[in-house]
Structure 1
Amino acid sequence: MLNRALISIVDDDQTFRESMHQLVMSLGYTVEAFPSAADFLASRLLRETACLVTDVQMPGMTGVELHRHLVDAGYAIPTILVTAYPDEAIRDQALRDGVVCFLSKPVDDKHLDRCLRSALQPGTPIDDKS
């Protein structure tokens, strides 16, 4: 069963972006992927995005900066941050700033699924520890 809610993935690592695209599709979601924050922000799909999954470390604009930009611009897009370089200070600040989940690479499929459900159904409890 396909969930019509659009999940947008932003990651500069093509291999990870493609594998995350496949994973999120396998969980039953509609998915689009972008190689940079700038590409996502310029996309006609920005307004249709129900949840954003983005890498923390990217050239140009980081995932944290992208989330802040969206909030400042008035877009209430639930955001899941993913990183290969976990940092507790960044994680704690991101969660205080309203990020739904902060996940470490490689991403655990079941944890990602719980995060997506929570993002799309606010109030759904999740364990936000990665």
Structure 2
Amino acid sequence: MAIGGTMKKVLVSIVDDDRFFRDSMCRLMRSLGYAVDIFSSAAEFLASPRLADTACLIADIHMPAMTGLELYRYLIDTGHAIPTILVTAFPNDADQARAANDGAVCYLRKPVDDEHLARCVREALSLDGSES
């Protein structure tokens, strides 16, 4: 998207209560050329003025107060169906099935493989129409 003769970077938002993971994902997404916002909780993300600008969401499943699965479902239910990648250090079949049924782009196990995550982000952005 051209703005004033420059290209606007696509925004990837990362929601995870683990600071190390957030920072690591932030560095990776920036190295791939994306703009990045990071949040330590679902509530912090939902309160963000940039929620509507988010083209791809990467969210941890296991967070206090509101899980990544609950956040994703809430976004869908409120008309903000952002292409979402769910990540977890504690994968299980029930969460994976729920994520798939709700339409999550990817369900990834931590530690996340950078190449696999990059493919998932490209897939998410193709769904959003942010990349061709």
* RMSD, aligned α-carbons: 1.4
For 2:85, the equivalent position in structure 1 comes to: 80
1:74-109 CA-to-partner distances (Å, cap 9, x unmatched) read 002000000000111211211111100000001101
Identity in percent: 58
Q: Gaps (5+ residues) in structure 2?
A: 1-6
Are residues 1:19 and 2:24 paired? yes
User: What is the TM-score with the length of structure 2 in the denominator?
Assistant: 0.89
| 1:33 pairs with one of 31, 38, 47 | 38
Letter in 2 for 1:64: L
Q: Post-superposition, which runs of at least 4 consecutive aligned residues in structure 1 deviate over 3 A?
A: none
Q: Distance in 2 between matches of 1:3 and 1:95?
A: 31
Q: Distance in 2 between matches of 1:113 and 1:17?
A: 15
| 2:103 pairs with one of 88, 98, 101 | 98
Count matched residues.
122
